[in-house]
Structure 1
Amino acid sequence: MSRTALVTGATSGFGLEIARRLVAAGHRVIAAGRRTDRLEALRDELGAEAICPLTLDVTDAGAVAGLPGALAEGWREVDILVNNAGLALGTTAAQDSDLAQWEQMVATNVLGLMRLTHAILPGMVARGRGDIVNLGSVAANYPYPGGNVYGATKAFVQQFTLGLKTDLAGTGVRVSDVQPGLVGGTEFSHVRFGGDDAKAGAPYADTTPMTAADVAEAVLWIIGLPAHVNVNRIELMPVVQGAGPFVVKRGG
């Protein structure tokens, strides 16, 4: 059965691939993001009946709050919300970090996800059905040097998802947290390192990381399960990756 999905961060990476996979599976997608030209290109690629471009910055509280009434006619009943928009900035130790970067990660990864959910969830509950898929990270569970606030924002995603699951029991609305590990071929690392290609490529050197298509496949699997099954959390890593060892500083 065709459903209507709202995917944030749909201009690149996970969001773009998830939008494509949803359409390939027969669904319609409200593709949300800040870069209008890319959204329009996606509509041209997949067709106006399948893609409804929505220029949206998830950190704009007013725009998000008014979203249900601002959606195009015929696209207002959102069956699937994919909270994908998010970012990491820097890998600096906490004591040397840029506070503005911390605040930007919280504004996007925490407040943006929270506000989108608040705007869309009541309609799902009223209709007695729906799926919310939050894009988290293995960083929620495995801290690493320099991942301080980024990991904390993804820990919020995990706990918020579990809290939603508790509140939504019996409503017919499902909620899941997808937690990828090392994924190559997206803009994630370039954003994190301010466009420095050498630094951005270093984490993936001589590895076979996952791809955005792998993450999209997990999302499609979750929403395709029978209606009585809820995936609370799914953690994905490439075979080359494992949880890091404890950090032990020698000599003092």
Structure 2
Amino acid sequence: MTDDADVARIRSEVEAGGPLHALVNNAGGAFGTESVEEAILEDWRAMFETNVLGTQRMIAALLPALREGSLERGSGDIVAVTSIAGHTVYPGGGGYNAAKHAQHALLGVLRLELGGEPLRVIEIAPGMVKTDFSLVRYRGDQAAADAVYAGVEHPLVADDIAEAIVHAVELPPHVDLDLVVVKPVAQSAVRVIHKGPLTPKR
């Protein structure tokens, strides 16, 4: 998603394969937890290149195919997997927060630009999901990554987010889920996470 030639190749392959009904922008990632003052700019560049510019490249390349597909299906879907980090900031999240806020803004502007067309812009904003996300953020430190999810009852997994995406795109063409925030029940807010069993209060 970060190489113009690769994006052009994808566009050619998609157009050769027939109409396109949905584009899911799922590339992303957080690198490091340094403060804004101590930011590693290469990490910030990588986060913006993937999360923001990668999303823009794919949308721009595939909009013609999505428009064509919308004629057949009644709607075309542009889905982007962002993060609750694009809506709430937290210490150590400077570069990732900035990139995800930018991605969220990009989608908002796109929705305005596509007004009047049968195209849905859907933002799926996950909270804590147990994948290799934390392992990447903590630069391969398995213990630090494991600590993020330790004690969390039923953390989300990638399949949960995939199910939310499928639900959004399978809704009738006139129904648009602009923003879907998906968190495990144990996560009340970005950094408010219950550890241990979930039990009713008495």
TM-score (norm 1): 0.70
Deviation, structure 1 residue 197: 0.3
What is the Cα deviation at residue 195 of structure 1? 1.1
158-167 or 141-150: which moved more?
A: 158-167
Report what 1:139 is aligned to.
85
- Asked if 1:80 is matched to 2:22, the reply is yes
Report the number of matched residues. Answer: 186
> Is there any run of 5+ residues in structure 1 with no aligned partner, and where?
1-57, 246-252
Q: Where does residue 9 of structure 1 map in the other structure?
A: none
Gaps of 5+ in 2: 192-202
1:91-137 deviation per Cα after TM superposition (whole angstroms, max 9, x unaligned): 11111121111111111111111100100012222443311110000
Aligned pair 1:201/2:180, yes or no? no
TM-score (norm 2): 0.86
Q: Which of residues 81, 92, 112 is equivalent to 2:34? A: 92
In 2, Cα distance between equivalents of 1:157 and 1:98: 20
Map 1:209-220 onto structure 2 (within 5 A).
Answer: 209-220=155-166
- Which residue in 2 is equivalent to 1:48? none
Distance 1:230 1:202, change over 3 A: same
Q: Which amino acid aligns with 1:165?
A: R
Corresponding residue number in structure 2 for 1:106: 48
Deviating more after overlay: 107-116 vs 64-73? 64-73
1:178-197: CA deviation from partner (whole Å, max 9, x where unpaired): 0000111x111111111110
Q: Distance in 1 between matches of 2:46 and 2:151?
A: 31
Q: Cα distance 1:72–1:125, how it changes in 2: closer, same or farther (>3 A)? A: closer
SS at match of 1:133: strand
Determine whether 1:124 maps to 2:66: yes
Alignment of 1:16-55 (within 5 A): none
Q: Is the 8 A contact 2:129 2:157 kept in 1?
A: yes
Partner of 2:133: 188
> Aligned equivalents of 1:138 and 1:72: distance in 2?
33
Of structures 1 and 2, the one scoring higher in RCO (CA 8 A, sep 6+) is 2
Moved more, 120-129 or 212-221: 120-129
CA RMSD of aligned residues (A): 1.7
After TM superposition, the structure 1 stretch with the greater mean CA deviation from structure 2, 111-120 or 121-130, is 121-130
Alpha-carbon deviations, 1:40-98, whole Å to 9, x = none? xxxxxxxxxxxxxxxxxx1112221343224484x242211000011100111111121
d(CA) in 1 for partners of 2:82, 2:133: 13
